[in-house]
Amino acid sequence: MIEVQHIKKGFDGKVVINDVSATLETGKCNLIIGSSGSGKTVLMKCIVGLFEPDAGDIIYDEQNFTSMSTKDKKAMRQQIGMLFQGSALFDSMTVEENIMFPLDMFSTKTRGEKQKRVDEVLDRVHLTDAHKKFPAEISGGMKKRVGIARAIVLNPKYLFCDEPNSGLDPQTSLVIDKLIREITTDFNITTVVNTHDMNSVMEIGDKIIYMYQGLKEWEGTNKEIIFSKNEKLNSFIFASDFLQDAKDMRMLEMKGKISNDRNMNDLLK
């Protein structure tokens, strides 16, 4: 579990995050959503330690990450996996070498043990034949899966995903969402996803934090978000006519005016 306590962050005198608090739960996909400029990316970077908050605390399982020494923060970061928006693979390294990189940096395993671990995570992301390929030789979706494999190779307790479906087609996005969900539940990881993909929100949003102009405007689950009465949130999520139609259909279903076998998951797929 990660606790965000009254975080504030600004740049050049402009407040970007203002007194944000939240609890990010273990074994669940915790999504941070919001439009461009809402502060969601800055919030994630504060949580993961890429930005130092101006005020407030980040607590990782009762350990205050914000006030840790540099040495202790380095040790904590070895428990954190990160999937970057553009995957951030090394072009000059093969898939296998990219995934082994964190093991070479932080692990004392033998070469054989490292190879076994690389094989395990590649199998986990369904890329058993990609070891010797270079990033330029694989698709965008495969690059994301390699990024996920690298993020989990050290068996992290915490997984951060920055716009994991950016640049992907809808079908591939579903594959990535499913993979993130499976890894989160199978390994009981605290997963934090920064996204604007409403399909991801509905598919894997166990907990959702909606950011608006640096403030936490709303929080809840993917089952609750469709019925929110928050006007700012509704303007954000129902920008799509399709989602508005889905909400209307769900409301009719709740009133018994259409068949119950047409559930929300069917409407949103």
Q: What was the pLDDT predicted at 267? A: 41
Dist CA 63 CA 45 (whole Å): 18
Q: Are strands 29-33 and 207-212 parallel, antiparallel or unpaired?
A: parallel
Do the beta carbons of residue 30 and residue 23 sit within 8 Å? no
User: What's the CA dihedral at 3, 83, 85, 27 to 10 degrees?
Assistant: -50
Determine how many CB atoms are found less than 10 A away from the CB of residue 90: 12
User: Whose CA is closest to 118, among 101, 142, 96?
Assistant: 96
Q: What was the pLDDT predicted at 239? A: 67
Q: What was the pLDDT predicted at 1? A: 94
The CATH classification of domain 1-79+157-226, taken from the options 3.30.420.40, 3.40.50.300, 3.10.20.30, 1.10.645.10: 3.40.50.300
- Which tokens sit at 165? 């479906």
Domain ranges across the chain: 1-79+157-226, 93-155, 238-269
213's CB contacts (< 8 A; 6+ apart) are: 37, 38, 39
Mean pLDDT by 10 residues, the chain (269 residues): 96 94 96 91 93 96 93 90 88 95 91 95 91 94 93 95 89 92 94 91 93 95 89 81 54 54 45
Burial class (CB in 10 A: 0-12, 13-18, 19+), 173: buried
Query: What is the C-alpha R_g of the chain?
Result: 20
- Across the strands, what pairs with 212? 215
Do the beta carbons of residue 176 and residue 144 sit within 8 Å? yes
Q: What is the pTM (predicted TM-score) of this model?
A: 0.85
User: Which string of DSSP letters, residue by residue, matches the chain?
Assistant: -EEEEEEEEEETTEEEEEEEEEEE-TTSEEEEE--TTSSHHHHHHHHHTSS--SEEEEEETTEESTT--HHHHHHHHTTEEEE-TT----TTS-HHHHHHHHHHHH----HHHHHHHHHHHHHHTT-TT-TT--GGGS-HHHHHHHHHHHHHTT--SEEEEESTTTT--HHHHHHHHHHHHHHHHHTT-EEEEE---HHHHHHH-SEEEEEETTEEEEEE-TTTGGG---HHHHHHHTTSHHHHHHHHHHHHHHTTSS-TTS-HHHHH-
